């Protein structure tokens, strides 16, 4: 249903009448005042909106959320851990993509148990009080296999993402299943869902009727929260009319995705989104449903640390603050936590890690960008006039270099000045002044000292702001937060170390200044009081935090905590009373997850990575403190804060040295032998396919057509020899980083990237002139393409489009008989617990060699790294004990190091779960995160490595198990993920 539009002003009506998508930008008019007009979708009044922001239960909301993919972290206990971190860094929402293919291995079969139990994701959002955006597609993109479509949809005759009976029947089947979980978790039912997206980035080759069909299905299933549409950029798709959602918005990735040059930024931050918004949907809040939180990295890329450098905390400063300057009050970061594309989850362009350079790293660790987001998010949720602003023109000097956007609250006199370089990637150190108009007069600020932008920086400066019992005239330092502490107020402001700062507040009845006292530990802090009762304090941002205590002003005393940027990153302001918004302040810890007050005691929960000095600011009624349940001994000082330290205790851990343990080894490619029995394999007989890859020979040799959708695929072709046959010609089709290996009659012919290969002059050598010849092909696949362009791109084949003999003059197009084998059971999974992406078609996978308790005692023993080179597929297994004591968070990885020039691929399994795809010739990934819960951190673990050489004489390199970091932590308890062990597999299903 399209939004109900309330037009109460002539100016707004005119804006709508002249709206032309793609028109040239013009000077921005003030945002129309519609504060008393709330639009709804006609289905619920629990979530409403005006042109400034959302409102939930009548309360205005600036939504600052982050994307989270539960399916990229198959340890549900850790979902709460990650969402606690979202909350801690100032986010008040989470966006969930729901992956159709992750839940459905076969048409009509759906699984929402175990690692797919999405009720636990909703529970985690409830426990952390995060609003939820649901994005269940049917198509999601997300760099996942098929863009989130199930593998079985690749064989659908009709086009996906179209309004046709076959496609509609299929996606409605999915929505029927997922909506059972969405419906009871809507805010209308007491849950946390406030917005629901329709498909994703649907713009190319689009049909409005398709979106209408999705909307109708959601409505039929009782989904009544406002619907949203995510345009891939501000391009005017489906803003109004058929196919449009209740609330329009767009996504943007201004740094793009080339992490190989991480210091190179384009000069492309937007200065015209506000105008675009006025022209297109001025009755709605400006919404960014995906904004760049990092970047994906391809096979052969520079690695995610380069992506984190490209989209770092300075990127967050410049681009996120620019979003606010343009008027955004809905901002969802993609990704806030990336996770792991374990098993076959990934599309071909990305590898196992999906760290994404996110604010919270793949192993769940904090980054500088996370701390910057905390500074912004806490400011946004504290300084509420920031939520309802119109823009105005600012006068500043150096204006050809420095851009300053002005925002004024429509409910008060508060103004905000957002300063940044016109040239986004500038590294210049530039000084400027701003003319600030306040109710206390007009000032050119700073009045003393310098105001600078040091390279890739942006500042939000606040003026004419009444907070607690104080009135801020202006500050050239940025505000983190402020709070009424009972006997006094406290405010934390910050800036880069060494930069000047100026803080001006209004005082009462003290024009002479004789009664005002300004006390600080920094003797260089200066202050003046003018005849109008304005107190000006000048200082330099320190290495650390400087307290400035102001008394005798005629109001409550004020504690100004002036922090350098590094110190500000470790200031935390957890809410202790949701009803009043009361916060307590603590500086120093690596992470503060939460705080609560009972009686005269504050209870903090959090993490530290070393012995940490802390400073605490709390209401004067608080006299006692605990940290993770332990009493804290803190001392009060003369500035209204408490100080002390948190002692880090090194844990006693057991993490095995994998170079010292004994491994069991077995050769694992019997399929290459001519006498291998493949009678239980599927016979390739199909002559038609719905793939977009046109076959050039028959039978069809596309794995999807035979029910195999992930991992390695075996093809065995047989033909009778003759003196005319001289070889054969094959064309392999698969995604980026795929590879294939060829054997003829048991003899290795080579390993190749996808494409065409002719094998010639084999007669008289490997080819038999009489009797049966056997071609064995092992295809290493890397997933399916997505369907971003709505052109059925996900139906591109994985297999061989051309397979023919060379030599015979009159051969038929069906000259070779073929058998195909992928994962055991195909769509009828042998291991439904781990699901459709965990296993491929390697012999060891089909036989369960990757599973705990497989009887490998008759295998050879060896050590890794091996000194012996091998050509066929090899498997290695071992069991090890890991022990991480309770009260610590120690994320662990498995790493591969090698120097061999021979190309090979490897699969890494931990307790039966595939958590690594390694390509020594491509990289860049050599470190593979194994989440707790998958890894038993209190006992025995089974490790298995499958090696697929592409070249002869490949040697598996050194394997290690190492911690990323050791944290003394309040991480919620982590339960072991159910990991079924080995049982004899049904040989009635093809092996």
Q: In whole angstroms, what is the distance from residue 434 CA to residue 971 CA?
A: 45
Kindly provide the residue ranges of all beta strands, DSSP E only, lying in 31-146, ordered along the sequence: 47-49, 54-56, 59-61, 63-68, 93-97, 131-135
* 64 Cβ neighbours under 8 A, 6+ residues apart: 90, 91, 92, 93, 331, 376, 377, 380, 381
Find the helix or strand (DSSP H, E) in which 79 lies: helix 77-88
Residue 444's beta-bridge partner residues?
Answer: 435
* Residue whose structure tokens are 């196992």: 352
Is 89 in a helix, a strand, or coil? Answer: coil
Q: Tokens 């009444």 map to which residue?
A: 466
3-state secondary structure 811-834: CCCCCCEEEEECCCCCCCCCCCCC
Beta strands (DSSP E) in 166-298 are 193-197, 227-231, 247-252, 286-292
**Cα–Cα distance, 728 to 730 (Å, whole number):** 7
Catalytic residue set: 201, 290
**Sheet (strand 904-910) strand order:** 860-862, 663-667, 874-883, 938-949, 904-910, 913-919
Q: Omega before 138 cis (within 30°)?
A: yes
Residues 6+ apart with CB under 8 A from 99: 69, 71, 140, 142, 144, 148
CA–CA separation, 434 vs 426, rounded Å? Answer: 20
Give the residue from 357, 364, 575, 555 showing the smallest Cα distance to 481.
575
C-alpha span between 354 and 360 (Å, rounded): 12
- Residue 211 parent element (H or E): helix 208-220
The Cβ of residue 765 has, within 10 Å, a number of other Cβ atoms equal to: 8
Distance CA 739, CA 922 (A): 11
Bridge pairing between strands 247-252 and 227-231: parallel
Dihedral sign (CA 907, 910, 912, 915): negative
How far from 858 is each of 257, 664, 963, CA to CA, in Å?
A: 48, 9, 32
Closest CA to 562 of 469, 449, 455: 449
The total number of residues shown for the chain amounts to: 991
CB-CB contact of 373 with 569 (8 Å): no
Q: Say how far apart CA 337 and CA 929 lie, in whole Å.
A: 14
**Distances in Å between the alpha carbon of 362 and those of 522, 818, 893, 927?**
40, 42, 11, 11
> For 504, phi and psi rounded to 5 degrees?
-120, 125
* Among candidate residues 964, 927, 933, 959, the one with its CA nearest the CA of residue 945: 959
- Our measurement of the distance from residue 71's CA atom to the centroid of its chain's CA atoms, rounded to an integer in Å, reads 11
* Phi, psi dihedrals of residue 369, rounded to the nearest 5°: -65, -35
382 φ, ψ to 5°?
-90, -45
């Amino acid at each position: 249903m399209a939004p109900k539009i309330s037009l109460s002003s002539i100016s707004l009506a005119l804006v709508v009448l002249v709206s032309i998508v793609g028109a040239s930008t013009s000077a921005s008019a003030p945002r129309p005042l519609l504060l008393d007009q709330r639009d709804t979708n006609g289905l619920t009044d629990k979530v409403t909106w005006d042109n400034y922001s959302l409102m939930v239960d009548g309360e205005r909301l600036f939504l600052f959320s982050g994307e989270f993919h539960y399916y990229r972290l198959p340890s549900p206990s850790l979902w709460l851990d990650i969402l606690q971190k979202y909350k801690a860094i100032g986010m008040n929402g989470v966006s969930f993509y729901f992956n159709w293919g992750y839940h459905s291995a076969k048409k009509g079969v759906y699984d929402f148990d175990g690692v797919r139990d999405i009720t636990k994701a909703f529970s985690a959002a409830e426990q952390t009080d995060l609003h939820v955006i649901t994005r269940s597609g049917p198509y999601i993109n997300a760099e996942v296999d098929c863009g989130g479509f199930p593998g079985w949809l690749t064989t659908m005759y009709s086009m996906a993402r179209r309004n046709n009976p076959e496609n509609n029947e299929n996606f409605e089947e999915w929505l029927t299943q997922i909506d059972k979980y969405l419906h009871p978790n809507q805010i209308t039912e007491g849950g946390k869902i406030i917005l629901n997206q329709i498909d994703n980035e649907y713009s190319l080759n689009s049909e409005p009727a398709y979106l209408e069909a999705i909307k109708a299905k959601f409505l039929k299933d009782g989904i009544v929260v406002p619907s949203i549409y995510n345009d891939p950029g501000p391009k005017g798709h489906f803003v109004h009319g058929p196919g449009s959602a209740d609330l329009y918005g767009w996504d943007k990735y201004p740094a793009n995705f080339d992490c190989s040059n991480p210091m190179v930024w384009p000069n492309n931050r937007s200065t015209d989104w506000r105008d675009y918004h006025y022209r297109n949907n001025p009755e709605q809040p400006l919404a960014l449903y995906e904004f760049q939180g990092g970047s994906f990295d391809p096979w052969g890329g520079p690695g995610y640390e380069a992506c984190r450098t490209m989209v770092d905390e300075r990127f967050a400063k410049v681009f996120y603050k620019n979003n606010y300057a343009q008027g955004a009050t809905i901002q969802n970061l993609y990704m806030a936590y990336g996770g792991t594309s374990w098993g076959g989850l990934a599309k071909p362009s990305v590898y196992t890690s999906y760290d994404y350079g996110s604010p919270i790293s793949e192993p769940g660790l904090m980054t500088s960008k996370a701390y910057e987001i905390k500074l912004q998010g806490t400011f946004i949720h504290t300084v509420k006039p920031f939520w309802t602003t119109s823009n105005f023109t600012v006068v500043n000097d150096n204006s050809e270099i420095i851009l300053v956007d002005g925002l004024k609250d429509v409910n008060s006199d508060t103004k905000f000045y957002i300063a940044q370089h016109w040239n986004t990637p500038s590294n210049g150190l530039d000084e400027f002044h701003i003319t600030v108009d306040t109710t206390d007069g007009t000032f050119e600020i700073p009045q003393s000292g310098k105001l600078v932008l040091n390279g890739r920086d942006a500042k939000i400066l606040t003026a004419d702001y009444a907070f607690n019992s104080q009135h801020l005239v202006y500050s050239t330092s940025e505000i983190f937060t402020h709070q009424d502490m009972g006997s006094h107020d406290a405010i934390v402001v910050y800036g880069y170390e060494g930069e000047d700062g100026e803080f001006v507040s209004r005082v009462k009845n003290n024009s002479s200044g004789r009664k005002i006292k300004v006390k600080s530990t920094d003797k260089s802090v200066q202050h003046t009081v003018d005849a109008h009762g304005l107190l000006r304090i000048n200082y330099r941002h320190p290495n650390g935090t400087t307290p400035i205590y102001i008394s005798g002003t005629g109001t409550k005393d004020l504690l100004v905590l002036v922090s350098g940027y590094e110190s500000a990153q470790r200031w935390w302001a957890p809410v202790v009373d949701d009803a009043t918004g009361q916060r307590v302040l603590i500086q120093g810890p690596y992470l503060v997850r939460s705080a609560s007050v009972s009686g005269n005691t504050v209870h903090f929960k959090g993490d530290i990575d070393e012995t940490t000095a802390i400073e605490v600011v709390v209401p004067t009624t608080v006299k006692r403190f605990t940290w993770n349940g332990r009493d804290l001994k803190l001392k009060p000082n003369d500035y209204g804060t408490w100080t002390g330290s948190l002692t880090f205790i090194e844990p006693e851990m057991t993490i095995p040295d994998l170079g010292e343990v004994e491994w069991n080894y077995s050769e694992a490619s019997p399929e290459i032998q001519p006498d291998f029995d493949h009678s239980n394999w599927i016979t390739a007989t199909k002559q038609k396919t719905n793939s977009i890859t046109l076959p050039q020979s028959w039978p069809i040799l596309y794995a999807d057509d035979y029910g195999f959708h992930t991992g390695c695929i075996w093809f065995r072709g047989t033909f009778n020899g003759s003196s005319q046959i001289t070889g054969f010609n094959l064309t392999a089709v698969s995604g980026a980083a795929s590879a294939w290996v060829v054997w003829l009659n048991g003899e290795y012919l080579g390993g190749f990237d996808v494409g065409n290969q002719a094998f010639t002059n084999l007669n008289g050598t490997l080819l038999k002139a009489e009797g049966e010849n056997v071609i064995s092909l092992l295809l290493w696949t890397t997933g399916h393409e997505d369907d971003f362009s709505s052109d059925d791109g996900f139906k591109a084949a994985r297999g061989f489009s051309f397979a023919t003999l060379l030599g015979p003059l009159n051969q038929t197009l069906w000259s070779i008989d073929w058998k195909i084998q992928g994962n055991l059971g195909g769509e009828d999974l042998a291991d439904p617990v781990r699901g459709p992406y965990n296993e491929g078609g390697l012999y060891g996978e089909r036989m369960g060699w990757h599973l705990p308790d497989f009887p490998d005692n008759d295998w050879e023993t060896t050590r890794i790294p091996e000194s012996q080179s091998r050509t066929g597929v090899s498997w290695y297994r071992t069991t090890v004990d890991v022990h991480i004591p309770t009260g610590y968070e120690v994320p662990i990885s498995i790493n591969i190091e090698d120097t061999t020039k021979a190309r090979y691929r490897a699969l890494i399994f931990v307790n039966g779960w595939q958590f690594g795809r390694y390509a020594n010739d491509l990289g860049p990934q050599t470190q593979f995160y194994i989440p707790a819960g998958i890894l038993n951190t209190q006992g025995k673990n089974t490790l298995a490595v499958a090696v697929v050489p592409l070249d002869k004489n490949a040697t598996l390199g050194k394997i290690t198990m190492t911690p990323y970091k050791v944290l003394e932590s309040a991480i919620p308890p982590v339960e072991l993920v159910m990991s079924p062990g080995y049982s004899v597999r049904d040989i009635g299903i093809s092996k």
